[in-house]
Amino acid sequence: MTSAAAPEWYKSAVFYELSVRTFADGNGDGKGDFPGLTGKLDYLRTLGVDCLWLLPFFPSPLRDDGYDVADYVNIHPDLGTLDDFKIFLREAHARGLRVVGDLVTNHTSSDHPWFQAARRGAVLPDGSPNEYHDYYVWSDTGTEYSDARIIFTDTETSNWTMDEQAGKYYWHRFFGSQPDLNYDNPKVVEELLSAARFWLDLGLDGFRVDAVPYLIEREGTNCENLTETHDILKKMRRMVDEEYPGRLLLAEANQWPEEVVEYFGTDQEPEFHMCFNFPVMPRLYMSLKKEDTTSIREIMDRLPAIPAFGQWATFLRNHDELTLEMVTDDERAFMYAAYAPDTRMKINVGIRRRLAPLLDNDRRRIELLNTVLLALPGSPILYYGDEIGMGDDLGLADRNGVRTPMQWNAGTSGGFSTAAPSDCFFPPIGDTVYGYGRVNVQSQEQDPSSLLKWMSRQLELRRRHPGFAVGELEFVGTDNPAILAFTRTTPDEKLLIVSNFAGNAQAVHLELGAYAGRVPVTLAGASPFPVVGEEPYPMILGKYDYYWLRLN
């Protein structure tokens, strides 16, 4: 299987996001590594995912968990060697698994040799120009671009920080330890393209590209989504299409539908193959608490059409906070009240909790949101540990509470490492509800009704019906807002997905008149429902229940 032979593989792939540092420790030093991850590839294959997205694995001082890159073309020494990486990639490919990395484009670590050189000023002591100075964005006053918002609102008070050595302010959209690269400098563009080539030459299947809206700054704008930023990203895509056809670029652009869609580009001038659908994510949770799915339909209807090569990336949770940037002020207040009862759960503009605790560890709600995730348009991305219902640790700083070690078994440190829990990079969760003694892969593998086994069966069902991946979406009218009903249609089949977002059994009538004469049949058990007539089609769903059907 090569990416060039199946260039649109990403449209039907299920992705799995993981951090090498917290997945599996191969040498017992308490830190996950590539040999450890390689040993878990069979688990991932059996689970039924198709592509792994690895969080940044480059040398880094880890002031932002690796999103502060100090060297783009090497492996963080804690995670193994470049040879370990090559073995991992070979073994992943041998199992039919693709692998994408995380390309941190907007900024480097302040420890990066480019920034260390840049701080020496525009002119070196011997009078020669310092080419690295112009790799970053400098100011004498730190007053420019005042319309740009601050993203890490809990820690940063300005997007400018004074660098004493340079005697100037440098620009940073994230932490002060992450100076923004100057993309008006063509050398910077070339540096990042060569970094990407390095990994693509080794066989990586592509990148999730981090924080893409912020590459270019212009006075009088909010410095997001600028035309000049898109021009650079289109150049990156041209490089990939010409030199590495079939490899993937996935945009992390946390933006409203009208802006995010621009990151696909057009058929003539393509940009990203995939973009995260940030706006729909919080509305899935909101709908559950409100028992009203109107906001899901509204936001999906608001998504503009995308080019034929494009595919959305959908997700319930990731390594960051559950971001609330793409909701209104009222909706954000609702979400905080509903899902962050403890102030420690709030961070920046979001909620730092994992899926299972967010949903009160309620198996029905966890299943419901996952089924909607798997059925809505887009390729779903699962976050490691959510397939077994892992919890979080509010005692850890920043977003690290949702990045605790994968729980493999009930043994030492949950099977993540032979090191003691206190010697692990982050301590494994040990509490009585979510701790590794109770929640772990090994016990769920032995339990046919576990969340893990359910997830695996659901992924298999999804794989058997290509309509989930590429079918046309059409919402079905209902007389009950708690019920979300839609069809996914390909030339070969029409799927009908009906989901009850209410905590009580619900009756509903579906407007299926256009399909009169057809018989809904369950996908899992091939069980026929009453034939559809001209009149609204009645259905009863138990609390948080769902049907995956085919209209025969």
Ligand X SMILES: OC[C@H]1O[C@H](O[C@H]2O[C@H](CO)[C@@H](O)[C@H](O)[C@H]2O)[C@H](O)[C@@H](O)[C@@H]1O
* Closest CB 20 distance from Ca ion, rounded Å: 9
Q: Is 156 marked active-site? A: no
Residue of 25, 163, 205, 398 interacting with Ca ion (CB under 5 A):
25
Q: Please say which residue, 323 or 487, places its beta carbon nearer to ligand X.
A: 323
Q: Which of ligand X, Ca ion, none does residue 386 bind (CB under 5 to 8 Å by kind)? A: none
Token pair of 5, please? 């032979």
Q: Please say which residue, 154 or 460, places its beta carbon nearer to ligand X.
A: 154
Instruction: Give the separation between CA 2 and CA 93, rounded to whole angstroms.
Output: 9
Q: Please say which residue, 33 or 64, places its beta carbon nearer to ligand X.
A: 64
* Closest CB 445 distance from Ca ion, rounded Å: 24
* Closest CB 59 distance from Ca ion, rounded Å: 15
Instruction: Give the separation between CA 416 and CA 34, rounded to whole angstroms.
Output: 13
* Packing angle, helices 280-290 and 363-375, rounded to 10: 140
Q: Which of ligand X, Ca ion, none does residue 495 bind (CB under 5 to 8 Å by kind)? A: none
What's the one-letter identity of residue 222? Answer: N
Of the candidates 65, 102, 252, 386, the residue annotated as catalytic is 252
DSSP tag of 418: S
The string of DSSP codes covering 381-401 is EEETTTTTT----TTSSTTGG
Q: Is 259 marked active-site? A: no
Query: Radius of gyration of the chain from Cα atoms?
Result: 24
C-alpha distance from residue 222 to each of 128, 229, 349 (Å)? 35, 13, 17
Q: Is 294 in the site for Ca ion (CB under 5 A)?
A: no
Q: Which of residues 194-233 bind Ca ion (CB under 5 A)?
A: none
What is the layout of strands, in order, in the sheet containing 138-139? 138-139, 168-171, 160-163
Q: Which of ligand X, Ca ion, none does residue 131 bind (CB under 5 to 8 Å by kind)? A: none
Instruction: Give the separation between CA 252 and CA 208, rounded to whole angstroms.
Output: 7
Q: Is 81 in the site for Ca ion (CB under 5 A)?
A: no
Q: Which of Ca ion, ligand X, none does residue 137 bind (CB under 5 to 8 Å by kind)? A: none
Q: Is 400 in the site for Ca ion (CB under 5 A)?
A: no
Q: Which of residues 492-531 bind Ca ion (CB under 5 A)?
A: none
* Closest CB 285 distance from ligand X, rounded Å: 16
Token pair of 81, please? 């060697």
Q: Which of ligand X, Ca ion, none does residue 33 bind (CB under 5 to 8 Å by kind)? A: Ca ion
Instruction: Give the separation between CA 229 and CA 227, rounded to whole angstroms.
Output: 5
Site residues (CB under 6 A) for ligand X?
64, 67, 104, 151, 174, 210-211, 252, 254, 319-321, 323, 325, 348
Q: Which of ligand X, Ca ion, none does residue 489 bind (CB under 5 to 8 Å by kind)? A: none
Residue whose beta carbon is closest to Ca ion: 33
Q: What angle do CA 346, 258, 374 make, to 5 degrees?
A: 65
Task: Find out whether 58 and 66 touch, Cβ atoms under 8 Å.
Answer: yes
Q: Please say which residue, 53 or 309, places its beta carbon nearer to ligand X.
A: 53
Of the candidates 102, 144, 205, 210, the residue annotated as catalytic is 210
Instruction: Give the separation between CA 460 and CA 13, rounded to whole angstroms.
Output: 12
Q: Is 29 in the site for Ca ion (CB under 5 A)?
A: yes
Q: Which of ligand X, Ca ion, none does residue 327 bind (CB under 5 to 8 Å by kind)? A: none
* Closest CB 174 distance from ligand X, rounded Å: 4
Instruction: Give the separation between CA 150 and CA 173, rounded to whole angstroms.
Output: 7
Q: Please say which residue, 274 or 452, places its beta carbon nearer to ligand X.
A: 274
* Element spanning 293, H or E: none
Exposed/middle/buried for residue 231 (C-beta within 10 Å: 0-12, 13-18, 19+): middle
Query: Residues in the site for Ca ion, rule: CB under 5 A?
Result: 25, 27, 29, 31, 33
Active site residues: 210, 252
